[in-house]
Amino acid sequence: MSVLAPKHQRLVLVLVALLVLIAAGMLAAWGLRSQADYFYLPEDIAERPPEPGRAIRLGGVVEPGTLRQLPDGVTIAFMVEGRHGDTIPVRYQGIVPDLFVEGSGVIANGRLTQDGTFQAETLLAKHDENYTPRELEGLTDDAARRTLEESTAGTT
């Protein structure tokens, strides 16, 4: 009967543990692959559209002149435009973020339908680097600074 030396037993134990960790990582990655939202621009969808029903993120700019509210009163429709002029029709039912306006950046989470319309489940409005909160609009730089200092004075 051959018994492994303690040094070899540790080596075998480490190798088995490493294999178990690799297998667990591969199983986790395989299980989560359907949960990942892939980011697409309109030009990506025009070139290589994802299969309908797959969860994706669509990013671009709300094309000016396309934002409209549908007759049900809670659904909006608009076009998302990419860098190269490609557009994707989008529908969204729910509360629209405050910064969501025509010409602004948007990231929509949702799914592409069979007819090529993107059905958004959530909308994230993006602002540019010149964004000013509503409370500070129209104030001079000094007045805005004072207002910020007053509002944060009690938080420190």
50 in the same domain as 28 = no
76 in the same domain as 10 = no
Residue 99 has a pLDDT of 82
Residue 101 has a pLDDT of 87
Residue 98 has a pLDDT of 80
List the alpha helices (DSSP H) in 36-140: 42-47
> For the purposes of burial, counting CB atoms within 10 Å of the CB of 43, is it exposed (0-12), middle (13-18) or buried (19 or more)?
middle
Residues in the chain with pLDDT values less than 50: 156
Tell me the sheet residues that pair with 69.
76
102 in the same domain as 67 = yes
- What is the residue range of 66's domain? 38-126
78 in the same domain as 5 = no
Residue 20 has a pLDDT of 95
Check the CA dihedral 66-121-52-61 and report its sign. positive
48 in the same domain as 23 = no
103 in the same domain as 44 = yes
Residue 81 has a pLDDT of 92
Residue 110 has a pLDDT of 93
Residue 152 has a pLDDT of 62
Residue 2 has a pLDDT of 60
8 Å CB contact between 56 and 112 = yes
Residue 146 has a pLDDT of 72
21 in the same domain as 49 = no
The CA distance from 120 to 122, in Å, is 6
Residue 127 has a pLDDT of 64
Q: Tell whether 91 is covered by a domain.
A: yes
Type of residue numbered 68: R
Residue 132 has a pLDDT of 57
43 in the same domain as 28 = no
Residue 33 has a pLDDT of 65
Q: Tell whether 134 is covered by a domain.
A: no
94 in the same domain as 54 = yes
* Residue with tokens 């051959």, as numbered in its chain: 2
